[in-house]
Amino acid sequence: MPELPEVETTRRGLAPHLVGRTIESVLLRRPDLRWPIPPEIAERLPGQRITAIRRRAKYLLLDTDAGSALLHLGMSGSLRVLPPSTPVGAHDHVDLVLAGKARGSARVLRFNDPRRFGCLLWQPPGETHALLRDLGPEPLPGDPGGTAFDGTAFDGNYLFARSRGRSAPVKAFLMDQRIVVGVGNIYVAEALFAAGISPLRPAGRVSRERYVRLAAEIVRILTHAIDRGGTTLRDFISPDGAPGYFEQELAAYGRGGAPCPRCGRALKQAAIGQRATVWCGHCQR
Ligand SMILES: [Zn+2]
């Protein structure tokens, strides 16, 4: 599943190919993905110039003066910029045809999503879509939306303040999109391992000092993943490349039963909120 680093890598990879281009037409091969595709997509986008591509949490926003297309890659979605003659595959549900300045330079932005948990929605100018309204701050400094609604930036003090009185496991607390966005199952496992915090510990019983360390690890791990993703950028514009989800060196995630990279004891595995959770009972308290 694309996590925040893949979505951000997608955004960076697509931006030079999309920004400044005019959408000539919109081709919807089915009326819905996870949700119905609203009529504005086909009615308002043609003729509009893409002014920016932004990310909020794991949503991408294609901005035009008429409004923004709001995209989510869901479980299996990918976006490619392709020559218009590229044969259409079984799960290529949407094409935005982009006009070219020179002959032969037209392109299509093609949305492929085999499992159709992704979405394509509409955000009118000056409005915030309902899906984006209650989101917490971005974990990375400098991101659009990188401050909470009250102007609080994401850091250890913020996590400490929001967690007081909460008995839910710290893992569930961090995966709550109202607290912080985009820290999915992989990155929460890696950050808790790096910070030495047990995922089972009640969120309200983690000290300020440990949240400061944890917030720094979240930023470090996400930034590292995005930097690595930069090397696979070409996959987003290649007709035959695999989707740009990248391989990573993981210390905890997916390694239940394997030796802890720090102490060598077997990593534990359990389900928290129906999601597989791996940690070291010795190094994480
Ligand atoms: Zn260990």
DSSP state of 74: T
Total number of residues shown for the chain: 285
Answer for the pair 180, 137: CB distance below 8 angstroms, yes or no. Answer: yes
How far apart CA 25 and CA 93 sit, in angstroms, is 14
Res 238 pLDDT > 60: no
Per-residue pLDDT band for 102 (boundaries 50, 70, 90) equals confident
More confident site: 233 or 266? 266
89, amino acid identity: G
Res 281 pLDDT > 60: yes
Res 142 pLDDT > 60: yes
Render pLDDT for 120-133 as a digit per residue (tens, 0 to 9). 999 999 999 999 99
Per-residue pLDDT band for 75 (boundaries 50, 70, 90) equals confident
3-state secondary structure of 95: strand
Expressed in angstroms, the distance from the first to the final Cα of the chain is 29
- Beta-strand runs (E) in 57-138: 59-64, 67-72, 78-82, 92-98, 107-112, 119-123
The catalytic residue positions are 2-3, 58, 275
Neighbours of ion ligand 1 (CB under 5 A): 260, 262-263, 280, 282-283
Give, to the nearest 10 degrees, the angle between helix 185-195 and helix 208-229. 130
Render pLDDT for 145-175 as a digit per residue (tens, 0 to 9). 555 555 668 999 999 999 999 999 999 999 9
Q: Burial letters for 247-273: b for 16+ Cβ neighbours within 10 Å, e otherwise? A: ebebbbbebeeeebeeeeeebbeeebe
pTM of the model: 0.88
Q: How far is the CA of 260 from the centre of ligand 1 (A)?
A: 5
Q: How large is the average pLDDT for residues 226-245? A: 51
